[in-house]
Amino acid sequence: MALIVIDCCFLYPLVLHCVVQVINLTALHWNCRFERPDFPLKFSGASPLTGAVPYAQCYGGHQFGTWAGQLGDGRAITLGEILNSKSERWELQLKGAGKTPYSRFADGLAVLRSSIREFLCSEAMHFLGIPTTRALCLVNTGKLVTRDMFYDGNPKEEPGAIVCRVAQSFLRFGSFQIHASKGEEDLGIVSTLADYAIRHHFPHIENISKSETLSFSTGDNGQSVVDLTSNKYAAWIVEIAERTASLVARWQGVGFTHGVLNTDNMSILGLTIDYGPFGFLDAFDPSYTPNTTDLPGRRYCFANQPDICSWNITQFASTLMAAHLISDKEASYAVERYGTKFMDEYQAIITQKLGLQKYNKQLVNKLLNNLAVDKVDYTNFFRSLSNIKADPGIPEGELLVPLKAVLLDIGKERKEAWASWVQSYIQELVASGISDEERKASMDLVNPKYVLRNYLCQSAIDAAEIGDFGEVRRLLKVMERPYDEQPGMEKYTRLPPAWAYRPGVCMLSCSS
């Protein structure tokens, strides 16, 4: 068994919620190995934690816009919940440890390639400042797992692995949907589960005071009023909507595409959850999807993510309505708040990425159009943008010099289009009154130099599949500091090589 352990200082001291004993992990730090011989056994599921009763969660979901019925943790097993020294609740969950009651016809296992991808990306997202589940450790089981990666009738054996991931909760929209779908007899479970979630994960809502005056006008005429102090479930769905909106705005800011935004992959805590065929934008393409299954309609493409998550919020709100927990007016207000919150957050993020003081819709729209026309690398472009000087006297022939490395192979007409945009951008910079040095520093704090491109993941996977986990560790260390220059690590900013565009690298299925 090969073991990789990452930072879990946010967990210790661990008090296993369902047993009496205290597990001492205070010696465990970033990228070090844990010496206890039973650690790989405990965190692969081979040896149960004493006194614990592992369980798998039942949930349903809308998949690609259609109700799919009962799904559930087919290859995920929760070991238990823990409380750390701050009384924060954390759930330990193994992914790929074997069959669960919801595995259906599958084996409940996971392969090394998908496990490495989840392991690396959940940590990369965390250090980008994006809410996410975390990865505690990755165990290579030493056993082979049969998978048909492209669902084309050509299965093959691949190395198996198990990820131990952690979150304060793995409850999803689908955790509630499944019970509402079963009719009146199960609607009580929806309210019981909602009460549990609010009590443990939204305690501020449980304790809302009537004096807080959380009343809001809704609708075009502003005559309808929603009072969030009179119904905790209404306050709850509104907060879930706002957390989700904030999450998606951050995805759009770094060019992250989830790939499978079914309602069973939506966290009630507003976390990025279930890393499958994800991808960061290389060449900017609003219609980019990393999911081969999504190719016909591109439902979950990059540009659609905000609207899809709004649709998912609507489905979740409908579940709470079916359980008689919120009214139609309160459900509509939650969806309205999602839209408002997303636009506010997204505009603020783009404004920061441009180093401006206020949002300029025309400037942003023109920029995104230019990026799409010339298929410019999203990450490298924004990182380079901070090198432009707020000097309206720059000769026209020199305007694009700071962007030379990212504006590749464009002709005269496109150079003129970009020069026109840069001139408008410089005018905005001058109006902001911020010094070039101060602006560059602030822009480099929000425009990452390093993101987990799919080909970087694949290089680490290829090495790991022959027993070398060195590149996994190196890549992990680079992604720990995505906004820093990191001299000597520039190779991790390169554009994808030709081999990166083959199936199974740039685009993936859900097979794991």
How many residues in total does the chain contain?
Answer: 512
User: Across the chain, what does the average pLDDT equal?
Assistant: 90
> What count of other Cβ atoms lies within 10 Å of the Cβ of residue 195?
15
Q: Provide Rg for the chain, Cα atoms.
A: 24
- Please say whether the beta carbons of 263 and 312 come within 8 A: yes
pLDDT > 70: what percent of the chain? 90
- Please say whether the beta carbons of 377 and 451 come within 8 A: no
> What count of other Cβ atoms lies within 10 Å of the Cβ of residue 90?
21
Least confident of 8-12, 15-19, 237-241: 15-19
Least confident of 118-127, 146-155, 197-206: 146-155
Query: What is the band of 371 on the pLDDT scale with cuts at 50, 70, 90?
Result: very high
Strand 2-5, strand 14-16: pairing: unpaired
How confident is the model over 116-143, as a mean pLDDT? Answer: 96
pLDDT at 512: 61
- Please say whether the beta carbons of 94 and 76 come within 8 A: yes
From the list 101, 78, 86, 73, the residue with the least C-alpha distance to 18 is 78
CA distance 288 to 100: 34
User: pLDDT, tens digit, for every residue of 314-360?
Assistant: 999 999 999 999 999 999 999 999 999 999 999 999 999 999 999 99
pLDDT at 223: 59
How confident is the model over 494-505, as a mean pLDDT? Answer: 91
Would you state the structure tokens that stand for residue 493, as one six-digit string? 């900013």
What does residue 297 show for φ and ψ, rounded to 5 degrees? -110, -10
SS3 state of residue 225: strand
* Torsion (CA) 20, 21, 26, 30 in degrees, nearest 10: -90
From the list 14, 6, 171, 8, the residue with the least C-alpha distance to 78 is 171
> What count of other Cβ atoms lies within 10 Å of the Cβ of residue 446?
20
- CA 57-96-459 angle, to 5 degrees, is 135
From the list 8, 282, 276, 254, the residue with the least C-alpha distance to 131 is 254
User: pLDDT, tens digit, for every residue of 440-475?
Assistant: 999 999 999 999 999 999 999 999 999 999 999 999
Q: Which residues make Cβ contacts (< 8 Å) with residue 80, sequence separation at least 6? A: 16, 17, 18, 19, 49, 52, 53, 54, 91, 92
Q: Which residues pair with 279 in a beta bridge?
A: 257
SS3 state of residue 50: coil
- Please say whether the beta carbons of 131 and 490 come within 8 A: no
pLDDT at 25: 29
SS3 state of residue 411: coil
CA distance 116 to 120: 6
Active centre residues (catalytic): 264
pLDDT at 58: 96
Query: What is the band of 5 on the pLDDT scale with cuts at 50, 70, 90?
Result: very low
CA distance 147 to 126: 29
pLDDT at 216: 62
pLDDT at 20: 20
- Please say whether the beta carbons of 139 and 42 come within 8 A: no
pLDDT at 213: 56
- Please say whether the beta carbons of 451 and 255 come within 8 A: yes
**Residue 184 carries which side chain, given as an amino acid letter?**
E
DSSP per residue over 259-303, as a string? S---GGG-BTT--B---SS-EE-SB--TT---BGGGTTT-TT-GG
From the list 131, 166, 63, the residue with the least C-alpha distance to 270 is 131
> Which residue's entry shows tokens 């300029």?
360
Q: Is the pLDDT of residue 9 over 70?
A: no
The 10 Å CB-count burial string (b at 16+, else e) for 6-16 is bbbeebbebbb
Q: Is the pLDDT of residue 4 over 60?
A: no
Listed by start position, the domains of the chain span 2-170, 175-352, 356-433, 454-501
pLDDT at 215: 58
CA distance 175 to 59: 4
CA distance 489 to 486: 6
